[in-house]
A and B are shown apart, each in its own frame.
Chain A
Amino acid sequence: MDGGARMPRRRWCRRLTRWGAVVGWGLLAMAQDAPSTPAAPGFFLPANPVAAAYVLGRLSNKELIAAPRGEFVYTALLERAGLERKYRLEALEGLAKLRHSTGLAQLLAGLTDLDKKGETGTNVVRELGGLLLQAKPEELAAQRPVLETLATEAQLPLTRELADAGLLTAGLPIDQLWQRAAARPEQLADLVRAIPWLRPPAQRAPFYPRLEPLLRQPDPAELRQAAMLTLVTIPGHDTATFAALAALAQAGAERATAINALERIPKSSWPTNNLAPLLASLVQYLQQLPPSARTETDGLEAFQCANDLAARLPLDQARAATRTLRALGVRVEVLHTVYEQMRYDRQLLVAEAGQPLVVILENDDAMPHNLTIVTPGALEEIGTTAEKMAPEPDAQGRLYVPASPKVLAATRMLDPGQTAKLSLEAPAQPGDYQYLCTYPGHSRRMTGTLAVVKDVEAYLASQATNAQPKLTEWTLAALAPDLAKVGYGRDLEDGRTLFTKLGCAQCHRINGLGNLYGPDLTEVFTRWNHDHAQLLDQILEPSKVIADRYRNYEFELKNGDSLTGMILKEDADTLTIQTGPADNLIQTVKKSDLAERQPQKSSVMPLGLLNLLDKNQIFDLLAFLEAGGNLAAHVHHP
Chain B
Amino acid sequence: MRATNHLGLELCRWLPRLAAWVGLLAGLGLTAAAAPLVLQKGDHICLLGNTLAERMQNDGWLETLIQAQYPQDELRFRNLGFSGDEVNLRLRSENFGTPDEHLTKEKADVILAFFGFNEAFGGPAALPAFEAHLEHFIQDTLHQHYNGKTPPRLVLFTPIAHENLHDPNLPDGSADNQNLALYAAAMQAVAYSNGVPCVDLFKASQALYAQAAQPLTFNGVHLTAYGDQQLAPVIVRALFGTAPDPAADAARLEKIRAAVLDKNFYWFNRYRTVDGYNVFGGRSQLKYVDGISNWDVLQREMEVLDVMTANRDRRIWAVAQGHDLVVDDSNTPPFIPVKSNHSGPGPGGAWSFLDPVEAIGHMKTAPDLKVNLFASEKEFPDLAKPVQMAWDTKGRLWVAVMPSYPHWKPKDELNDKVLIFEDTDGDGKADKCTVFADHLNIPTGLEFYNNGLLLAQAPYMMYMKDTNGDDHVDFMERVLGGIDSADTHHTENSFVLDPGGALYYQEGVFLHTSVESPYGLTRNINAGVYRYEPRTQKFETYVAYNFANPHGHAFDRWGQDIVTDGTGAEPYWGTCFSGRVYFPHKHKHPPKVYNQRTRPCPGTEILSSRHFPEEMQGNFLVANVIGFQGILQYHLTDQGAGIAGHEVTPIVQSDDPNFRPVDIKIGPDGAIYFLDWQNPIIGHMQHHLRDPSRDHTHGRIYRVTYPSRPLLKPLPIAGQPIPALLNLLKEPEDRVRSRAKIELGGRDTAAVMAALGPWIASLDPKDPDYEHQMMEALWVHQYHNVVDASLLKRMLRSPDFHARAAATRVLCYWRDRVPDPLGLLKVQANDDHPRVRLEAVRACSFFTTPQAAEIALEVLNHPMDDYLKYTLDETMNTLDPFLKRASR
Cβ of B877 to closest chain A Cβ, rounded Å: 9
Which residue from B854, B886, B887, B888 sits with its C-beta under 8 Å from A46? B854
Chain A hits for B854, CB < 8 A: 46, 51
Whether B190 sits at the interface, judged by CB under 8 Å, is no
Over the window 38-64 of chain A, the binary record of Cβ atoms lying under 8 Å from chain B Cβ atoms (1 yes, 0 no) is 001011101010110011001000000
Are B887 and A40 neighbours in the complex by a CB distance under 8 Å?
A: yes
Chain A hits for B262, CB < 8 A: none
Chain B hits for A43, CB < 8 A: 887
Are B886 and A44 neighbours in the complex by a CB distance under 8 Å?
A: yes
Are A48 and B857 neighbours in the complex by a CB distance under 8 Å?
A: yes
Cβ of B391 to closest chain A Cβ, rounded Å: 47
Whether B853 sits at the interface, judged by CB under 8 Å, is yes
Chain A hits for B876, CB < 8 A: 54-55, 58
Give the CA-CA distance A46 to B872 in the complex, in Å. Answer: 14
Chain A hits for B5, CB < 8 A: none
Cβ of B851 to closest chain A Cβ, rounded Å: 10
Tell me the nearest residue of chain A to B854, going by C-beta: A46
Cβ of A512 to closest chain B Cβ, rounded Å: 51
Are B886 and A42 neighbours in the complex by a CB distance under 8 Å?
A: yes
Most buried by B among A44, A46, A55, A58: A44
Give the CA-CA distance A20 to B854 in the complex, in Å. Answer: 37
Are A54 and B883 neighbours in the complex by a CB distance under 8 Å?
A: no
Are A44 and B858 neighbours in the complex by a CB distance under 8 Å?
A: no
Cβ of B858 to closest chain A Cβ, rounded Å: 7
Are A55 and B886 neighbours in the complex by a CB distance under 8 Å?
A: no
Give the CA-CA distance A48 to B872 in the complex, in Å. Answer: 16
Which residue from B861, B883, B884, B887 sits with its C-beta under 8 Å from A48? B861
* A 7-61 contacts with B by CB, 8 A: 40, 42-44, 46, 48, 50-51, 54-55, 58
Chain B hits for A48, CB < 8 A: 857-858, 860-861
Give the CA-CA distance A40 to B880 in the complex, in Å. Answer: 17
Are A55 and B857 neighbours in the complex by a CB distance under 8 Å?
A: yes
Whether B579 sits at the interface, judged by CB under 8 Å, is no
Chain A hits for B482, CB < 8 A: none
Tell me the nearest residue of chain A to B873, going by C-beta: A58
Are B860 and A54 neighbours in the complex by a CB distance under 8 Å?
A: yes
Give the CA-CA distance A40 to B888 in the complex, in Å. Answer: 9
Are A42 and B888 neighbours in the complex by a CB distance under 8 Å?
A: yes
Whether B850 sits at the interface, judged by CB under 8 Å, is yes
Tell me the nearest residue of chain A to B856, going by C-beta: A51
Tell me the nearest residue of chain A to B860, going by C-beta: A50
Cβ of A56 to closest chain B Cβ, rounded Å: 11
Give the CA-CA distance A511 to B387 in the complex, in Å. Answer: 91
Give the CA-CA distance A44 to B879 in the complex, in Å. Answer: 11
Give the CA-CA distance A338 to B860 in the complex, in Å. Answer: 41
Chain A hits for B850, CB < 8 A: 44
Query: How many A residues are at the interface, by size bracket?
Result: 10 to 19
Cβ of A54 to closest chain B Cβ, rounded Å: 6
- Decide if the interface of chain B is mainly helix, strand, loop or mixed: helix
The answer to whether A51 and B887 touch (CB under 8 A), given A44-B850, A58-B876, is no
Are B886 and A50 neighbours in the complex by a CB distance under 8 Å?
A: no
Cβ of A45 to closest chain B Cβ, rounded Å: 9
Give the CA-CA distance A51 to B876 in the complex, in Å. Answer: 11
Are B857 and A42 neighbours in the complex by a CB distance under 8 Å?
A: no
Cβ of B56 to closest chain A Cβ, rounded Å: 48
* B 833-888 contacts with A by CB, 8 A: 850, 853-854, 857-858, 860-861, 872, 876, 880, 883-884, 886-888
Chain B hits for A54, CB < 8 A: 857, 860, 872, 876
Are B858 and A51 neighbours in the complex by a CB distance under 8 Å?
A: yes
Chain B hits for A50, CB < 8 A: 860-861
Cβ of B874 to closest chain A Cβ, rounded Å: 12
Cβ of A80 to closest chain B Cβ, rounded Å: 18
Cβ of A101 to closest chain B Cβ, rounded Å: 25
Chain B hits for A46, CB < 8 A: 853-854, 857
Give the CA-CA distance A50 to B861 in the complex, in Å. Answer: 7
Tell me the nearest residue of chain B to A55, going by C-beta: B857
Cβ of B854 to closest chain A Cβ, rounded Å: 5
Are B861 and A42 neighbours in the complex by a CB distance under 8 Å?
A: no
Cβ of A48 to closest chain B Cβ, rounded Å: 7
Chain A hits for B888, CB < 8 A: 42
Are A51 and B886 neighbours in the complex by a CB distance under 8 Å?
A: no
Tell me the nearest residue of chain B to A63, going by C-beta: B884
Give the CA-CA distance A40 to B857 in the complex, in Å. Answer: 20
Give the CA-CA distance A48 to B853 in the complex, in Å. Answer: 12
Give the CA-CA distance A218 to B188 in the complex, in Å. Answer: 91
Cβ of A39 to closest chain B Cβ, rounded Å: 10
Tell me the nearest residue of chain A to B859, going by C-beta: A51
* A 53-77 contacts with B by CB, 8 A: 54-55, 58
Tell me the nearest residue of chain B to A53, going by C-beta: B860
Give the CA-CA distance A48 to B860 in the complex, in Å. Answer: 9
Cβ of B880 to closest chain A Cβ, rounded Å: 8
Chain B hits for A58, CB < 8 A: 876, 880
Most buried by B among A48, A51, A58: A51
Chain B hits for A44, CB < 8 A: 850, 853, 883-884, 886-887
Give the CA-CA distance A44 to B884 in the complex, in Å. Answer: 7
Most buried by A among B853, B857, B861, B884: B857
Give the CA-CA distance A50 to B857 in the complex, in Å. Answer: 9
Give the CA-CA distance A44 to B880 in the complex, in Å. Answer: 10
Give the CA-CA distance A289 to B860 in the complex, in Å. Answer: 50
Tell me the nearest residue of chain B to A49, going by C-beta: B860
Cβ of A95 to closest chain B Cβ, rounded Å: 21
Chain B hits for A55, CB < 8 A: 853, 857, 876
Cβ of A548 to closest chain B Cβ, rounded Å: 35
Tell me the nearest residue of chain B to A41, going by C-beta: B887
Give the CA-CA distance A82 to B692 in the complex, in Å. Answer: 62
The answer to whether A51 and B860 touch (CB under 8 A), given A42-B888, A44-B853, is yes
The answer to whether A42 and B860 touch (CB under 8 A), given A51-B854, A58-B876, is no
Cβ of B822 to closest chain A Cβ, rounded Å: 14
Give the CA-CA distance A58 to B874 in the complex, in Å. Answer: 12
Cβ of A196 to closest chain B Cβ, rounded Å: 38
Give the CA-CA distance A499 to B860 in the complex, in Å. Answer: 58
Cβ of B330 to closest chain A Cβ, rounded Å: 60
Give the CA-CA distance A58 to B850 in the complex, in Å. Answer: 15
Tell me the nearest residue of chain A to B872, going by C-beta: A54
Tell me the nearest residue of chain A to B886, going by C-beta: A42
Tell me the nearest residue of chain A to B884, going by C-beta: A44
Chain A hits for B857, CB < 8 A: 46, 48, 51, 54-55
Give the CA-CA distance A381 to B835 in the complex, in Å. Answer: 58
Chain B hits for A51, CB < 8 A: 854, 857-858, 860-861
Q: List 21 A-B contacts (CB under 8 A).
A: A40-B887, A42-B888, A43-B887, A44-B883, A46-B853, A46-B854, A46-B857, A48-B858, A48-B860, A48-B861, A50-B860, A50-B861, A51-B854, A51-B857, A51-B860, A51-B861, A54-B857, A54-B876, A55-B857, A55-B876, A58-B880
Extra contacts, 18 of them, besides A46-B854, A51-B861 (Cβ < 8 A), are: A40-B887, A42-B886, A42-B887, A44-B884, A44-B886, A44-B887, A46-B853, A48-B858, A48-B861, A50-B860, A51-B854, A51-B857, A51-B858, A54-B876, A55-B853, A55-B857, A55-B876, A58-B880
B contact residues vs A (CB 8 Å cutoff): 850, 853-854, 857-858, 860-861, 872, 876, 880, 883-884, 886-888
A contact residues vs B (CB 8 Å cutoff): 40, 42-44, 46, 48, 50-51, 54-55, 58
The 3 tightest CB contacts between A and B, nearest first, are A51-B857, A44-B883, A50-B860
